[in-house]
Amino acid sequence: MEQRKATRGLHGSPRASPRGRWLEHDDRKAPKLETIPGFMCDICCEEDDELESFALKCGHRYCVDCYRQYLKQKIKDEGEAARIQCPSDGCGRILDSKSLDILVTSDLVERYNELLHRTYVENKDDYKWCPAPDCPNAVECGVKKNQLSQIVPTVECHCGNRFCFGCPNPDHQPAPCQLVKKWLKKCADDSETANWISANTKECPKCQSTIEKNGGCNHMTCRKCKYEFCWMCMGLWSEHGTSWYNCNRFEERSGSDARDAQAKSRVSLERYLHYYNRYANHEQSARLDKDIALKTEKKMVQLQSASGMSWIEVQYLNSASQSLQTCRQTLKWTYAFAFYLQRNNLTEIFEDNQKDLEMAVENLSEMFEKPIVELSDQKLKVDIMDKTSYCNKRRVILLEDTANNLAQGKWLFNGDLNIGSSTSSTSRR
């Protein structure tokens, strides 16, 4: 399903010690500051019998003050670390770690180490820094660039941030990086359309009253006429729990309506709007669910007071919240993935998996938004826990099936996407 490796902060890590690996030194002759009678510094031209000086193994000697100023400029101002050379013009001798320790202050040594670690990670294809704000960790993943058409290399940092190792985007399973790049560009190009369809208000299909969506659940009830409908497709909600549920699937029209260029363009736009509307809706719902999640702890405290449950016993709300956010993220990208898919037997299975996950998420979202009085009911608690588990399982099933077909080159895509190969991919968990 996804490539994942344990993450680690490089500071103090036994596996990642570039300083010892790159900057070798000779323990038999440790570097030291010296006072040499008659010495004159070639940089500042100062000459004093008491003047402390320093030289690397190359023998180019300068006074300590000039050396320190040179290193301060390189480390603090220029951000250099791995390739700091002797100050002598044309000399390629690299500064070693023990020399640095006796020349500069501890805060400059600390900055040097940070730069050295960063350089080490940036020069290694198997490492990347976690993009989460203020996270110091690097993540290791063995997926190569030529495998990105067959694998979506999602990794998870110890800080909890999930992102794609192959591109700078957050987790976008099951869509490959090339498809994601193309989809985001298309959305940006069609920004006016996107702005229109991503409006936060819609009209009730029955009485045309304006309705604002203030939660992640797509089950809407008009306050004026009590009509229940789906926010995504505006269809009758009672049909969404039956075999007639078809909200996730775009129905291709017969070719009779698409004979002229104008009709084809209209059908193409309708198709794009179908997938973008659902993509944008899950993105918005995920944001709303996240806002609700920020209030979950307060909700859990209230539930403790109302029901007499312990803090451990109300953790099911936090689990449900996390599941909703993760599943929404996956569902969002299934619509971008489906937009580029050519229809075949596999797409039917994909859409069935997508539908099952989507229905489960909507049910869980509706349960999660119940008032505290109802959440204290033991039966509802069990239902939420069961539905959370079911959502997680359906997400895994969808991702594993999609990833296996991608690795085996079974998906066919529209446009100029060159994705998938019959070549088998590396193992995944």
Residues 121 and 17 in one domain: yes
Q: Which of 41, 130, 217, 247 is catalytic?
A: 217
Domain finish residue from 147, 181, 210:
147
Phi and psi at 163, nearest 5°, equal -150, 170
> Is 381 part of any domain?
yes
Residues 55 and 96 in one domain: yes
Residues 295 and 361 in one domain: yes
Residues 309 and 181 in one domain: yes
Residues 100 and 191 in one domain: no
The Cα–Cα gap between 217 and 264 comes to: 34
Which structural domain, as residue segments, surrounds residue 294? 173-200+272-407
Mean pLDDT along residues 51-71: 93
Q: Decide: 245 and 239 in contact? Cβ < 8 Å.
A: yes
Asked which of 27-36, 56-65, 258-267, 335-344 is least confident by mean pLDDT, the reply is 258-267
Residues 46 and 194 in one domain: no
Asked if residue 131 has a cis previous peptide bond (ω within 30° of 0), the answer is: no
Residues 191 and 337 in one domain: yes
Here the CATH number for the domain that contains residue 15 is 3.30.40.10
79-122 pLDDT per residue, tens: 888 889 999 999 999 999 899 999 999 999 999 998 988 888 88
Tokens of residue 55, six digits:
């030289």
> For the chain, what is the domain count?
2
The whole-number pLDDT of residue 75 equals 94
> Is 125 part of any domain?
yes
Q: Decide: 95 and 75 in contact? Cβ < 8 Å.
A: no
Here the CATH number for the domain that contains residue 400 is 1.20.120.1750
> Is 13 part of any domain?
yes
Residues 138 and 187 in one domain: no
Asked which of 42-46, 182-186, 192-196 is least confident by mean pLDDT, the reply is 192-196
* Terminal-to-terminal C-alpha distance of the chain: 6
pLDDT exceeds cutoff 50 at 6: no
390-428 pLDDT per residue, tens: 999 999 999 999 999 999 999 999 877 777 544 333 333
Nearest to 334 by CA among 386, 292, 281, 387: 281
Tokens of residue 230, six digits:
């789906």
> Is 206 part of any domain?
no
- Burial (0-12, 13-18, 19+ Cβ within 10 Å), 6: exposed
Radius of gyration of the chain (CA): 30
257-268 pLDDT per residue, tens: 544 554 666 677
356-379 pLDDT per residue, tens: 999 999 999 899 888 888 887 889
> Is 60 part of any domain?
yes
Residues, the chain, total?
A: 429
Residues 381 and 289 in one domain: yes
* Helix ranges (DSSP H) in 234-377: 261-294, 296-307, 315-340, 345-368, 372-375
The Cα–Cα gap between 157 and 127 comes to: 12
> Is 166 part of any domain?
no
> Is 312 part of any domain?
yes
Mean pLDDT along residues 226-244: 79
The Cα–Cα gap between 242 and 233 comes to: 15
The whole-number pLDDT of residue 14 equals 32
The whole-number pLDDT of residue 193 equals 55
Residues 326 and 177 in one domain: yes
22-51 pLDDT per residue, tens: 334 444 467 889 988 889 999 999 888 788
Active site residue 217: yes
Amino acid at residue number 149: S
Domain finish residue from 131, 147, 163:
147
The whole-number pLDDT of residue 288 equals 81
The Cα–Cα gap between 237 and 246 comes to: 11
- What angle (nearest 5°) sits at the alpha carbon of residue 242, between those of residues 240 and 245? 45
- Kindly report the number of other CB atoms within 10 A of residue 173's CB atom: 22
> Is 168 part of any domain?
no
Cα dist. 340→50, 145, 176, 273, 336 in Å? 76, 22, 11, 13, 7
Residues 191 and 330 in one domain: yes
Which three-class secondary structure state does DSSP give residue 54? strand
Residues 74 and 177 in one domain: no
Domain finish residue from 147, 165, 182:
147
